[in-house]
Amino acid sequence: MNYSDSEFPWITIETFGFEHGVPETVIGCLLIDVRGVGLDDPADLEDLAGRDGKDEDVIQHVMASRMAFTRIEQVVGQAKALLDFNAKKNFTARVLIGDRDGRTRAVVLGDAVAEVLNGRGIPTEVQHHHLEPQK
């Protein structure tokens, strides 16, 4: 199917923090948990603590992780498979990516996956639920 003809996103990626709860889900949603899957946590380093996944140093730290590019390709493949299944019914795909607080690894991974999908002609948007510190 050619998704690039659409002006609307076919995939929505939502990043969040498990400590704040999983966003309300519906059937046909893909849930990715990045806690403990080979993506280095910037919070483990004193000079990166408190920064978020939009910070260039945080992005570089996460992307330098041993499993970063493998994980990106895995999520891209899973999202594409879900989209291909949903598109038969004219449904979009929703991908939820969560880490502990929803401010670092999930944000970096969500943005990277969206960049790859958009680059492959699949309109994708990203929403970051917990990018700002929660009270």
Q: In angstroms, rounded to a whole number, what is the distance separating the alpha carbons of residues 35 and 125?
A: 23
Region 106-128: mean pLDDT is 96
**Which residues, 6+ apart, have CB-to-CB distance to 112 below 8 Å?**
63, 68, 72
Going by pLDDT thresholds of 50, 70 and 90, the confidence category of residue 104 is very high
Please measure the distance between the N-terminal and C-terminal CA atoms of the chain and give it in whole angstroms.
43
Q: In angstroms, rounded to a whole number, what is the distance separating the alpha carbons of residues 93 and 110?
A: 14
Would you tell me how many other CB atoms lie within 10 Å of the CB of residue 88? 8
pLDDT digits (tens, 9 = 90+) for 20-71: 999 987 667 899 999 988 899 998 999 998 899 999 999 999 999 999 999 9
Q: Is the pTM of this model over 0.75?
A: yes
